[in-house]
């Protein structure tokens, strides 16, 4: 009895192989909602009342995340990067007036946006403020869309 199905040789395994072969030939796939990898331009108003921007580039090699941080024309590697329960955390440090400071950016990335807070410490003072960000494409970077 025929139920309108066409039987082809190879069975389900042949179909799966064809699907995997097709998927492997696709170009870069779009950034998924919540994927932290990419270039993020973050904007905030600091406690001193000044608006500031920075760019954080998050990369993945195997299971390890790394990041670079660029602000005020200076680029440096992040001290630590993690992505846990949908929250990206990037810790950077720097020097101001001869003393070290630490900034910890914590945000929840969406497909093209991120919001969160920046924890800061400098000498004996510390605090936090909010930031908002967007995923950007830098010239020479392969678009993930």
pLDDT for the residue 49: 92
CATH number at residue 80: 2.40.128
pLDDT band at 1 (very low <50, low <70, confident <90, very high): low
Question: What span, in angstroms and rounded, lies between the C-alpha atoms of 78 and 58?
Answer: 10
Cα angle 112, 116, 122; round to 5: 130
Q: Is residue 6 part of a domain?
A: no
Q: Is residue 90 part of a domain?
A: yes
Q: Is residue 26 part of a domain?
A: no
* 8 Å CB contact between 135 and 40: yes
Q: Any idea how long the chain is?
A: 145
Q: Is residue 116 part of a domain?
A: yes
Domain hosting residue 122, numbered range: 38-136
The DSSP letter of residue 95 is E
Buried b (16+ CB within 10 A) or exposed e, 3-18: eeeeeeeeeeeeeeee
pLDDT for the residue 29: 39
Number of domains in the chain: 1
Q: Which residue has the higher pLDDT, 145 or 36?
A: 36
Q: Is residue 145 part of a domain?
A: no
Q: Is residue 117 part of a domain?
A: yes
**Mean pLDDT (whole number) for 13-26:** 32
pLDDT at 10 over 90: no
pLDDT for the residue 32: 55
pLDDT band at 104 (very low <50, low <70, confident <90, very high): very high
Q: Which residue has the tokens 């950034």?
A: 31
What token pair was written down for 60?
């993945």
């Amino acid at each position: 009895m025929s139920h309108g199905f066409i039987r082809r040789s190879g069975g389900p395994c042949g179909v799966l192989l064809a699907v995997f072969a097709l998927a492997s030939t696709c170009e870069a796939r779009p950034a998924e909602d919540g994927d932290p990898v990419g270039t993020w331009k973050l904007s905030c108003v600091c406690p001193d009342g000044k608006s500031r921007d920075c760019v954080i580039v998050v990369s993945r090699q195997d299971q390890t995340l790394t990041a670079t941080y660029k602000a005020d024309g200076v680029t440096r590697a992040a001290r630590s990067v993690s992505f846990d329960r949908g929250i990206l955390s990037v810790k950077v440090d720097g020097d101001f007036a001869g003393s070290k400071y630490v900034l910890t950016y914590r945000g929840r990335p969406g497909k093209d946006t991120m919001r969160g807070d920046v924890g800061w410490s400098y000498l004996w003072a510390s605090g936090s403020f909010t930031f908002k960000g967007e995923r950007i494409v830098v010239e020479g970077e392969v678009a993930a869309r």
